[in-house]
């Protein structure tokens, strides 16, 4: 009975957690900027400048250019290559679409030819792609469409095939038939069906395994259908945002078809009469200004926890006026790094954002208590239009019941650092040296360098605190030793240890045995500068502290790299030594970085095995025939004699 109760409670917890996750929506990770549009214009212009003769390329280049409001040059000469009778649905689609997008008389398609095609092809066994081409052609040329007949055909196609492209073609066709909401309601479940087939790249992106074109076509078809239907089914909003997030991260594509439908999908979303996508941005410049596809993470200073946001249109660089929205903050949740468990911090209702139409910003003071430390958080935010017209049924996307990823940053300080010199072989404790953070320790020797004799070890113990003297843990804590003469550097990762189990206080330590690590130092004796390097995404001021200098002596012959460095040490122009930036980039616990110039390696000549000598073809054939003669005789001997 007890295992059953435990299993039931565990299942109940999972259900509660999943329901909490499902209640929150995803934010858009970015908008199409002027830089992105310039990229797409260049892609389409490149293909059109080559004066293509293929209708496939011409259509997609013109579709993308039209979405970007770019006038296509030499359209008459381009259309002249298409001025021929249409013989199938695909040809009629490309020709009629180009004519509708450009309005050029050179691209005009014969309505009679398309009507003839519709009579021939509009049958129950027509492929879904041909049906899409045909209905789109008829719509482009204002040819009357028998909606009931098309709906019947679509129903039979759906009963046989529910793949993403089939459902997308179906949704796109339905959006063009001019059906009423009640007539479309029977197909609304297909929106969820097609989105459920998408794979998840991360928590905020969905995609289709067939590629970017399929993902973009599905996105456009869903938007077109929802706009025609006039309602967003339950569970669709979050998945649609994730699908567009995937398209956003792939906006640097140069594939002509994928580029055209990606642009068309975003423009359809931006100009939908039903959907109103809103992108949340920080008022502080982010990586997006550098053209990077990094999901947005907002930051506030622990000392001044004020969050400033702006709401941006997904298709333009324009910002919405704060007076157009009521933006409200709910709970602030701390997110643990390991298991991603969310814990509510303070009140679950943090009030409304203050509005500033002059700077187009929303401002909220988080009022963090003393126990709120720096780290990873999520802020629940929801918005509504401040004033809606009676018939305004627009649905906000990316801003209702969303969780904004938030970093609470702070200044880091080294609280206390102790350097211990010991001789573990003889169980001798030699000395403890207290280091002053930010200052370089000078020993009592004439040079101020700590001399470490053979057989001795050192241990460095340190702890970090934030601006409120609260213990702090960092993602990157390194100790780097750099040889003063050759600038060779070796980097060690500090280990965590618990100082107070009850309070959960932790510190960092490094134990260094030079004799055991001699090979990692390349047996290079001399004076080393010892630096502490501390970095983390929640630390505003990365630490680079020159703690002390130490003289290390090794028994052994220095390696070839070290010998070359010593020889070239006087010629600075020939050295490529470790810079402070390079020191921070050391990636492994025992990384020797910085290399001098090397001579060209000898050319590698591949030697292949010489083919064995073979018999002449005539001799080989004769041998084969002789081998088969006994088999032929056997077949003749056992075969029945004919009378």
Query: Per-domain residue ranges for the chain?
Result: 32-145, 162-273, 281-409, 413-584
* DSSP 8-state secondary structure symbol assigned to residue 83: -
* DSSP 8-state secondary structure symbol assigned to residue 288: G
Q: How confident is the model at residue 272 (pLDDT cuts 50, 70, 90)?
A: very high
pLDDT tens for each residue of 557-574: 877 666 666 665 544 444
The structure tokens 């801003």 sit at 399
CA distance 556 to 551: 16
CA distance 261 to 219: 9
| CATH of the structural domain 413-584, one choice from 2.60.40, 3.30.70, 3.40.50, 1.10.3470 | 2.60.40
Q: Which of 269-278, 327-336, 491-500 has the highest mean pLDDT?
A: 269-278
Q: What is the pLDDT of residue 586?
A: 38
Residue burial 122-144, b: 16+ Cβ < 10 Å; e: rest: beeebebebbbbbbbbbbbbebe
* DSSP 8-state secondary structure symbol assigned to residue 180: -
Residue burial 582-592, b: 16+ Cβ < 10 Å; e: rest: ebbebeeeebb
CA distance 50 to 73: 12
Give helix then strand counts, H and E, for the chain.
Answer: 17, 24
Closest CA to 46 of 266, 290, 262, 259: 259
C-beta of residue 131 within 8 angstroms of C-beta of residue 150: yes
CA distance 302 to 246: 32
Lowest-confidence pick of 27-31, 71-75, 390-394, 544-548: 390-394
Q: What is the pLDDT of residue 393?
A: 80
Domains 281-409 and 413-584 share a fold: yes
The structure tokens 């296509």 sit at 72
* DSSP 8-state secondary structure symbol assigned to residue 287: G
pLDDT tens for each residue of 396-449: 999 999 999 999 999 999 988 999 999 988 888 899 999 999 999 999 999 999
More confident residue, 640 or 13: 640
Q: What is the mean pLDDT of residues 75-84?
A: 80
Please give the distance of CA 4 from its chain centroid, rounded to a whole number.
42
**pLDDT surpasses 50 at 15:** no
CA distance 550 to 220: 65
* Angle at alpha carbon of residue 452, lines to 446 and 456, rounded to 5°: 155
Q: DSSP string of 391-426? A: T---EEESSSSEEEEEEEEB--EEEEEEEEEEEGGG
Closest CA to 325 of 401, 268, 396: 396
How many CB atoms are located within 10 Å of the residue 93 CB?
Answer: 25
Q: What is the pLDDT of residue 295?
A: 58
pLDDT tens for each residue of 323-338: 999 999 999 999 876 6
CA distance 636 to 124: 59
- Pull the structure tokens for residue 390: 């009676």
Average pLDDT of the chain to the nearest whole number: 85
CA distance 31 to 315: 6
Beta strands in 536-613 (DSSP E): 543-552
- Pull the structure tokens for residue 365: 């003071």
C-beta of residue 364 within 8 angstroms of C-beta of residue 354: yes
Q: What is the mean pLDDT of residues 277-301?
A: 70
CA-CA-CA-CA torsion for 420, 422, 424, 425, nearest 10 degrees?
170
CA distance 142 to 435: 83
**CATH number, domain 281-409:** 2.60.40
C-beta of residue 227 within 8 angstroms of C-beta of residue 240: no
Q: How confident is the model at residue 225 (pLDDT cuts 50, 70, 90)?
A: very high
Three-state DSSP class for 485?
A: coil
Lowest-confidence pick of 98-107, 247-256, 319-328, 403-412: 98-107
- Pull the structure tokens for residue 513: 């045995």
Q: What is the pLDDT of residue 608?
A: 64
- Dihedral sign for Cα atoms in the order 329, 333, 334, 337: negative
**Judging by beta carbons within 10 Å of its beta carbon (0-12, 13-18, 19+), is residue 543 exposed, middle or buried?**
buried
Order of strands, edge to edge, in the sheet holding 361-365?
Answer: 354-356, 361-365, 306-313, 275-282, 395-397
pTM for this entry: 0.77
The continuous run of DSSP H or E covering 206 comes out as strand 205-207
What are phi and psi for residue 215, nearest 5 degrees?
A: -60, -45
CA distance 214 to 168: 9
pLDDT tens for each residue of 611-635: 677 778 888 888 888 898 888 888 8
- Say if strands 489-493 and 428-435 run parallel, antiparallel, or are unpaired: unpaired
**pLDDT surpasses 80 at 602:** no
The structure tokens 């627009």 sit at 394
**Judging by beta carbons within 10 Å of its beta carbon (0-12, 13-18, 19+), is residue 66 exposed, middle or buried?**
buried
Closest CA to 34 of 312, 304, 425, 332: 312
Q: What is the pLDDT of residue 504?
A: 54
CA distance 294 to 281: 12
Q: How confident is the model at residue 556 (pLDDT cuts 50, 70, 90)?
A: confident
**pLDDT surpasses 90 at 223:** yes
Q: Distances in Å between the alpha carbon of 14 and those of 31, 234, 255, 396?
A: 35, 22, 43, 29
Closest CA to 374 of 403, 354, 345, 415: 345
């Amino acid at each position: 009975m007890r295992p059953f109760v435990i299993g039931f409670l565990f299942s109940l917890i999972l259900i509660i957690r999943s329901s909490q996750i499902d209640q929150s929506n995803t934010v858009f990770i970015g908008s199409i900027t002027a830089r992105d549009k310039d990229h797409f214009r260049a892609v389409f212009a490149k293909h059109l400048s080559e004066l293509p003769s293929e209708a496939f390329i011409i259509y997609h280049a013109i579709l993308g250019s039209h979405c970007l409001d770019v006038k296509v040059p030499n359209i008459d000469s381009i259309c002249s290559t298409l001025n021929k009778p249409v013989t199938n649905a695909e040809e009629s689609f490309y020709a009629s679409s180009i004519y509708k997008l450009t309005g050029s008389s050179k691209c005009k398609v014969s309505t009679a030819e398309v009507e003839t095609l519709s009579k021939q092809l509009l049958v129950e066994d027509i492929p879904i792609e041909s049906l899409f081409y045909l209905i789109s052609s008829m719509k482009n040329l204002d040819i009357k469409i028998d909606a009931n007949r098309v709906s019947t055909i679509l129903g039979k196609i759906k009963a046989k095939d529910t793949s993403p492209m089939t459902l997308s073609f179906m949704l796109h066709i339905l959006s063009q038939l001019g059906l009423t909401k009640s007539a479309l309601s029977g197909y609304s479940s297909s929106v969820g069906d097609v989105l459920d087939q998408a794979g998840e790249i991360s928590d905020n992106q969905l995609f289709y395994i067939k590629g970017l074109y399929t993902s973009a076509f599905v996105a456009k078809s869903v938007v077109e259908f929802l706009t025609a239907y006039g309602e967003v089914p339950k569970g669709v909003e979050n998945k649609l945002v994730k699908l567009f997030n995937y398209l956003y991260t792939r906006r640097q594509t140069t594939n002509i078809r994928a580029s055209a439908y990606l642009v068309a999908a975003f423009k359809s979303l931006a100009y939908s009469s039903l959907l109103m996508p809103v992108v949340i941005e920080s008022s502080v410049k982010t990586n997006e200004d550098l053209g990077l596809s990094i999901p947005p993470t907002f930051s506030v200073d622990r000392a001044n926890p004020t969050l400033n946001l702006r709401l941006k249109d997904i298709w333009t660089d324009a910002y919405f006026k704060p007076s157009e929205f009521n933006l409200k903050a709910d709970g602030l949740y701390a997110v643990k790094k390991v298991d991603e468990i969310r814990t509510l911090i303070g009140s679950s209702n943090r009030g409304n954002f203050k509005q500033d139409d002059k700077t187009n910003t929303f401002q909220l003071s988080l009022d963090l208590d003393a126990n709120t430390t720096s780290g990873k958080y999520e802020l629940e935010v929801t918005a509504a239009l401040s004033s809606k017209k009676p018939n305004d049924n627009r649905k906000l996307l990316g801003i209702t019941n969303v969780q904004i990823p938030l970093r609470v940053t702070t200044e880091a300080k080294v609280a206390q650092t102790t350097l211990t010199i010991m001789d573990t072989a003889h169980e001798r404790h030699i000395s403890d040296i207290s280091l002053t953070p930010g200052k370089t320790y000078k020993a009592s020797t004439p040079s101020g360098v700590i001399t470490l004799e053979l057989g001795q070890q050192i241990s460095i113990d340190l702890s970090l605190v934030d601006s409120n003297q609260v213990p702090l843990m960092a993602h990157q804590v390194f100790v780097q030793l750099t040889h003063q003469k050759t600038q060779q550097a070796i980097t060690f990762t500090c280990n965590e240890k618990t100082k107070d189990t009850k309070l959960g206080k932790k510190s960092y330590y490094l134990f260094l045995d030079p004799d055991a690590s001699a090979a990692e130092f390349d047996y290079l004796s001399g004076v080393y500068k010892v630096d502490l390097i501390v970095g983390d995404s929640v630390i505003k001021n990365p630490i680079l502290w020159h703690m002390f200098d130490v003289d290390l002596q090794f028994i052994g012959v220095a390696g070839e790299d070290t010998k070359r460095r010593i020889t070239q040490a006087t010629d600075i122009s020939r050295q490529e030594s470790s810079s402070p930036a390079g020191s921070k980039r050391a990636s492994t616990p025992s990384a020797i970085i910085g290399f001098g110039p090397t001579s060209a390696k000898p050319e590698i000549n591949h030697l292949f095995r010489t083919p064995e000598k073979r018999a002449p073809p005539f001799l080989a054939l004769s041998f084969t025939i002789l081998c088969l003669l006994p088999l032929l005789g056997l077949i003749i001997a056992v075969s029945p004699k004919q009378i």
